Each structure stands twice: as structure tokens, then as C-alpha cells.
Structure 1
Amino acid sequence: MDTFNIQIWNNDIEKYKSTETADRIALLSSANNPKLDSKSIFVNEDIFLHESHFHRSFLPVKMLRLALVAAVIVQALALPFDLTLDNEWELFKVAYKKNYGEEESNRRQIWEDNVRLIEKHNLEEDRGVHTYRLGMNEYGDMTNEEFARVMNGLIVHNKTSTNLFEPTMDPQDLPDSVDWRAKGYVTEIKNQGQCGSCWAFSTTGSLEGQHFKSTNKLVSLSEQNLMDCSKKQGNKGCQGGLMDNAFKYIEENKGIDTEQSYPYRAKNGKCHFKASDVGATETSHKDIQEGSESDLQQAAATIGPISVGIDASHSSFQLYRSGVYNEPRCSSKRLDHGVLVVGYGSEGSKDYWIVKNSWGKSWGMEGYIQMSRNKKNQCGIATNACYPVV
């Protein structure tokens, strides 16, 4: 790689993460493009042929050209990848520190498929077909099936709620919008890595908010504590869990350790909870009436950040970039991912929930997504919602 390209990559890694696919391709389109004249044929980056390479006494020039064109066509048909994406692929690997080894070809093909999916969707969004845009992120080298299996670890079971949230306000009196981030209730975006621990991040997020409400101190709490220590309550670490189970553990354990004292490792481990490192406690937890977006709105307006389960199984969620996410294929029953509602609002006629995810800042709107609100409980956002009582 020459110095010019290294400089381009170093200068544009952050820009790459925040721009859409078509813009990224344009960003580096001038680098390494051979300047062909009328007597040149570019086969690939290793084969560059010019008419002067051959002596006219062997074959007529026209026959040479025909033979070379045929060779180009044969090689092009054999190439598995889109060569115009070479620079972007290399930049993707640098930006997200990817090193595939023997998996390179497979990951490249998956990535190209996702690039095409993103471009097609965004062209449709330009025509008004969709209300949100897709974009490349660090998960763009995973198939949707693989992604859902690895990242989405919510395990939902039938439950009978005996401690339900009871709305106390007239829905007409609720504010038009709420954002608990602006009031100091929400910690920075976290990243669960390739571990199905979403349920733990949803749990800590809600308790962090309630602890702040009670003490005026925002403390980041330990997801790893929940992963390692709440198996008795039914959770399975990276293999999945449920926020209700995690809240039950915190209640029975009389607290959860701080993130600083019990850092996240993105893998299962032995429990080493220390009572001296407790960062927050709770006395009980409450569930929102199943399927009621109205009750969820009131809880989100009056209580604080709320833990929720959703259907995040679609490619459109995996590659979401911005806008109000409206996925008609979403199920309100088959939930597979735990997230955190931190507010709500509207954009014109489009109502949405402000949702904090745990897939890092390269995903979505700096780690957040606006999910459709008042669309018949789309993606099941009000199907399994709960919060702790401090």
C-alpha cells in the first residue's frame, strides 16, 4: 500500500463510519485508478497490458486486442467480488479492526450483499417508500441469521404479572415528548460485543435511571455481574436471559456491583460479586400491561427509562442508520432483543420511541434508534416492558 492511500485511510476512518455507502465509494474513487489510453487494457491491479508490449510481427494488432478482451471477459466472469468496492472493503476492515484469515472471502461476500441491500433500501427511501435509512456498521460482515443468533439474547417465557404499573395521569395530560438523556438519567452507549447479553444491558440501563432519580448520582452498573451471578434466576449469560429475572436477582442479592468494580468481558464467567462494591439496589420491579403502548408512554413519561423486549430479527434493524424505524414484518410476540426506552417524540405525523441499544456507537444514531410508536405495538415494544422500584 502506498503512502498516499495510508494517509487517505487515516484521515477518513471516522468519516467512513458516519457516511452512507455511496458516499464512501465516492470518497476513495480517485485512488489507484489507472489512466488508460486508447491502446491500453486494464485486466486487474496486477495485469496492465499495452499494445507496445507485443511485436506486430506475431499477430495483427486487432487479433491481439480481441484475444486480450476475451481474456479480460473470462477473468471478470471468474472474479467473485465487485472490484470497485476494493478500497471500501479495505477501509471497512481498518475502521473496525477486522482480521479474517481464511474467512476473508466469505466475509467479503456477505459484506457486499449487505452493501447492495443498503443501497437498494436507501434509493427506495429517497422515493418515499421508507421512513428510515440503512448504513454500514461493524456488523455488516455478518448474515442476518448469524447476527440474530449471536447478538439477540432475550429469552421470553410466559409470566403472570402480579405487580403491574398503574397509570395515574390522563393520557391527554402527558407531555408531547420526553428525553431522559437530557435530564441526566442515561449512561453512555455501551457495547455488548458478540455475546447475547442484551438483557443485562437493558436491566442496568433502567436501574441506572432509577438510581439517579433517587440519589442524583449517575452510576454505571455491571452487566457482567448479572451475567455471572443470575443463573439461579434463569439467566444464561451470553446465551440469553430476561430483564425480570435480572431484577429478581438484584432484589434477592441486595444490590448490583458497579461497572468499574466488575467490568464487562463479553463472555461467561464465575460470579465474584462483592457487597462492598454495590452501586445500586432495588426493592422490587413492576411490569407494564402487556401490549399497552399507552401505559408504556405514561411510564416512560413519569417513571424514567424502561426496559423493553423487541423483535430485532430483521436485516433492516441490523443495518439501521437513521429515521423512524417502521418495519411491518416485525412481530409483537416473537421477541429476541432487550433494549431501553429512554423517551418518545414525534417527527411530523410519525410518532416514535427513543430507544437505547447496546451495540456500540457505530450502530444507528450514535447507538440509538427511533422506533415507531402507536403502530399497534410494532416490534412488540410494549409486550415485555418493566422497570425496578428503588
Structure 2
Amino acid sequence: MAFWLPLLLLLGLIPGAAPAPAELRGAGAQAWGPPSPALLGPARFALEMYNRGRAAGTRAVLGAVRGRVRRAGRGSLYSLEATLEEPPCNDPMVCQLPVSKKTLLCSFEILDELGKHMLLRRDCGPVDTKVTDDRNETWTSVLPLLSKDPLPQDFSVKMASVFKNFLITYNRTYATKEEAQWRLSVFVSNMMRAQKIQALDQGTARYGVTKFSDLTEEEFRTIYLNPYLREDSGKKMRLAKPVNDPAPPTWDWRSKGAVTNVKNQGMCGSCWAFSVTGNVEGQWYLNRGTLLSLSEQELLDCDKMDKACMGGFPSNAYSAIKNLGGLETEDDYSYRGYMQACNFSAEKAKVYINDSVELSQNEEKLAAWLAKKGPVSVAINAFGMQFYRHGISRPLRPLCSPWLIDHAVLLVGYGNRSDIPFWAIKNSWGTDWGEEGYYYLHRGSGACGVNTMASSALVD
């Protein structure tokens, strides 16, 4: 085990299970009847998503299942409750974590649309987890194991005020009192986690309350990130010819008219599509002189190599654009945030691409290419981004491994603030996140994998 792993486990910064909503806890799985055959397919898909990335011998198996199904648009929406059985924990470091990994009770929402499954929600927690109406006990139950110091007496009052402000700022409402109480416990746990990330950050970033602060880590990853990027199984591209000119000290394509406004992917893991359209928008502007906002929905619907809201690869998306014959604009093919039947019209296509290329992993060469050729599609490790507010993020490398990339974004420039070099990154979570939708990441040493999957379309 690497020397830093025990520390990260104790700090609670290695992904783990989260408590389930109160309405699920304490449910007696033994009383459930045999599952309807219609539920087994979606339940097995949910299990596959839960086990993704787990080594053999650590994967859970499906226990009891119950649920319901209803029509949703062109598909069916499954709301499931299931027990999952995990193998015994043999690692004493992991076993010391507050959440025991034995029998879990999970709730899943799965959309079956046009024959493809899509996981919309996943909440899992131990069957025997207890929740009390006493707020102080609720807060105590979510504190990390490492915290040994007593809490200030006014901690509950302060956190209640912060949570209330969060609800007002982001217009949050919950269906039941039990859900509100559980979301409160998630919120407090997230604030503790954000403080740990803040303490370990080596840059100028500030972490805290964001619009994602009431989501568990698993929910956030499932809904907004792209686990397929780690598999590195997208279409292979040829290497781009290097740019011989040295990179200028700073560069920003926003000030040069090559970048559209920040967009919002919504509750859909479609970051790969936004990263690619941003790149093609820049390439078309630089080669044709017109900045057009292009359609991500076309890629969700018509790119059959990728998996729409479940994730995809920029390299596949370039290939799809080329094979389809181009991209329509946002106005002609507007974003819905879920997969529909392909409605692409070649007559309405406003842009095309000739090819796509993989860029150098050397950051100086990458900066030189960007300054000469335009904004670049990249994939990064999104560690800490759930709580990022502003500043230059520089997580410890073990926390932001370049080999664990899970989010596709658009590199639009680079520069320095207070002698700290940064990449300027256009994200796709709306302008009410980060610095008006932008993320600033330390430049150098392959920070968070920003240079591991850099690519661009080519327009002749």
C-alpha cells in the first residue's frame, strides 16, 4: 500500500459509501416478495454500475429487489429498492471507516429509453443505519472518524444557518421531512470534506458551499461525471504535428472571440459532448470567422459509439461528427439533457470537420498548440470540483491522480495569478458554479491529468 493511502483513507478522501435516505433505512428485506421479472434487467444494470471499477473479490452481489415502473417520455422509468451484499472487508484500514460495507440497502432510478439503460440516481447505505430526530446526534453521526476534538457548542446553529442559506440560494426543496433531514446530514458531511480538501490544497482555490453540496459523492459522480474516460477505450487518433513556436507567456481565447457562453449539461453525464462542441466551435471560428453555438444534443442522440448521459469519449464524438456530415446549431437542435431518437438533418448542418488529432502530453507543447490553434478538449480528474468556488486549484497529486480522469472540459487559455501558473478551463455546469462557470487548475506536472487526453478537431 502506498505510503499516502492510509492517510487519505483516514481523512475520508477516498470514495466510499454514503448513507441511504431515511425512508429506506430499516426496511426489512426479508419481507419482500419475489421481484417482478421486469425489474431484474434494470436491477442487474444498477448492480453493474455499482461494481464498475471494483476489483474481483470486492464486487457486490444482488439480493432482494422491489420497485415500480412508469412511462417517461419515450421510455420507462424504474424506481428500485435493492439489497446488495458485499464481501467481508479484509483491509483493516478500510474497515475502520464509519460506514461498514456488508449488507447495503440501495435506491436506484433507471431510465430505459430506446433500449438503453441510464442510471439517474443511486443512494446506498448500511441496512442498520439509524437516524434520530435530534439534530445534534444527526450532525455527530456524519462527522469523520478522524475528528476527535469536541464540536463548538454553536456548531449546530451555525450549520443550520448555512444550510438554510444554501436552500434559499439554490432554490432547493425536498419531498419529505425525512429526505430533508438526510440531505442536511449529507450537507454537513460535505462541508467537513470541503474543509479537508481546503487544508490540503497547495494553490489559492477556495472550497465550500456550491449547488452540489447536498449530493453524496456517489450521486455527484454518477450524475455529473464520466467514468468511461478511465477506460481509455475510445477511438484512437493520430498525433498532431507539433507547433514550433514557443508558447506565449499568457493566452486566452475568450478575449479573442473563439469561445461561446458557458453551458449547462444538467443532470446528465454529457460532459464529453460539451467538451467536443466547444473545441469545434473554436476551430470553426478560427478557420471560418463565425462563432456558432453548436448542438450537444445531436451527439447524445446520434453518436452510437458513446452512451449519451452515461458517458462517452471525445475521440468517438469527433468520428461521429465526421460520419454524420457535421453539427447543427443549438438553435436548430436544442439541448434536452437525455437521449432521444436521432433527428439530425444534413441540410441543417452548419459546420463540419475533416479529422481529429491527439495532442502532446508535454504541457509547454500543449500550451503552444493551444495558443496557435485554438481551444482544446481535455479530460481531467474532477477531485474537489464538487466544492470548488474560485481560485487556482492545486490538489495533492495522490488525491488528483492523472490516471483517474472522469470529466471532459475545454481548455481555453492559460496564464499566471500571483506567480502561480494556471490553465483556464471552461466547464459545463452553468455559470452558477465556480468562477462564473470556469475552473482554474494549476499548470505544470500534469495537474489532475489535464494533459493525458488532449485532442482537437481539424477544419480545413
Regarding TM over 0.5, the answer is yes
Partner of 1:252: 323
- The separation in 1 between residues aligned to 2:438 and 2:260, in whole angstroms, is 12
1:305–1:341 CA contact under 8 A, matched in 2: yes
Task: Write the distance in 2 (CA, Å) between the matches of 1:288 and 1:366.
Answer: 28
1:92 aligns with 2:163: no
- Displacement after TM superposition at 1:323 (Å): 1.5
Q: Which moved more, 1:143-152 or 1:198-207?
A: 143-152
SS at match of 1:181: helix
Q: Contact 2:243–2:369 (CA<8 Å) still a contact in 1?
A: no
1:169 to 244, 248, 256: 244
The answer on whether the counterparts of 2:203 and 2:395 sit within 8 Å (CA) in structure 1 is: no
**Is the deviation greater in 218-227 or in 348-357?**
348-357
Q: 1:140 to 1:167 in 2, by over 3 A?
A: same
Match of 2:69 in 1: none
Q: Structure 2 counterpart of 1:241, which letter?
A: G
Larger deviation, residues 180-189 vs 161-170 = 161-170
CA drift at 1:94: 2.9
Larger radius of gyration: 1
Partners of 1:147 and 1:204 in 2: how far apart? Answer: 23
Tell whether the 8 Å contact from 1:211 to 1:217 is kept in structure 2 after alignment: yes
- Equivalent of 1:109 in 162, 185, 189: 185
Deviations 1:60-110 (A, max 9, x none): xxxxxxxxxxxxxx9675565823333432332232232221321111111
Q: 1:117 to 1:348 in 2, by over 3 A?
A: same
- C-alpha distance in 2 between matches for 1:111 and 1:199: 28
Matches within 5 A, 1:218-297: 218-231=291-304, 234-289=305-360, 291-297=361-367
1:292/1:383 contact within 8 Å kept: no
| Structure of higher RCO (CA pairs closer than 8 Å, 6+ residues apart) | 1
Residue pair 1:341, 1:356 contacting (<8 A) in 2 also: yes
The answer to whether the 8 A contact 2:234-2:316 is kept is no
Residue in structure 1 matched with residue 404 of structure 2 by the alignment: 334
Partner of 2:219: 146
Q: Equivalences for 1:29-40 in 2 at 5 Å?
A: none
Following the alignment from structure 1 to structure 2, what is the Cα–Cα distance between the partners of residues 75 and 278?
59
TM alignment of 1:46-125, pairs within 5 A:
77=136, 80=139, 82-102=156-176, 103-119=179-195, 124=199
Tell me the TM-score normalized by structure 2.
0.63
SS of equivalent residue, structure 2 residue 228: coil
User: CA, structure 1 residues 184+77, in 2 after alignment: closer, same or farther (shift >3 Å)?
Assistant: closer
Moved more, 200-209 or 348-357: 348-357
Shift of 1:194: 1.3
In the alignment, what sits opposite 1:194? Answer: 267
User: Who is 1:324 aligned against?
Assistant: 392
Distance 1:143 1:76 in 2: 19
Contact residue 111 and residue 141 of structure 1 kept, 8 A: yes
What secondary structure is seen at the aligned counterpart in 1 of 2:425? strand
Question: 2:264–2:430: 8 Å Cα contact kept in structure 1?
Answer: yes
Q: Which deviations, in whole Å up to 9, do the C-alpha atoms of 1:217-258 show, x marking residues without a partner?
A: 211111110011001xx2000000011111101111110111
8 Å contact kept, 1:225–1:273: yes
Q: CA deviation at 1:199?
A: 0.1
Figure out how many residues of one structure are paired with residues of the other and give that number.
306
Aligned partners of 2:235 and 2:316 also within 8 Å: no
Letter of the 2:241 partner, please give it. Answer: E
| CA-CA distance at 1:154 after TM superposition | 5.3
Query: Quick check: 1:204 aligned with 2:277?
Result: yes
- In 1, Cα distance between equivalents of 2:236 and 2:365: 15
Partner of 1:3: none
SS of 1:339's equivalent in the other structure is strand
In terms of fraction of residues, the more strand-rich structure is 2
Q: Is the 8 A contact 2:271 2:428 kept in 1?
A: yes
1:320-342 deviation digits (Å, cap 9, x = unpaired): 11121111221112211100000
Q: CA deviation at 1:117?
A: 3.7
Q: Secondary structure at the match of 1:318?
A: helix
1:293 to 1:75, Cα distance in 2 relative to 1, 3 A:
closer
1:371 Cα deviation after fit: 0.9
Distance 2:441 2:292 in 1: 26
How far did 1:384 drift? 0.5
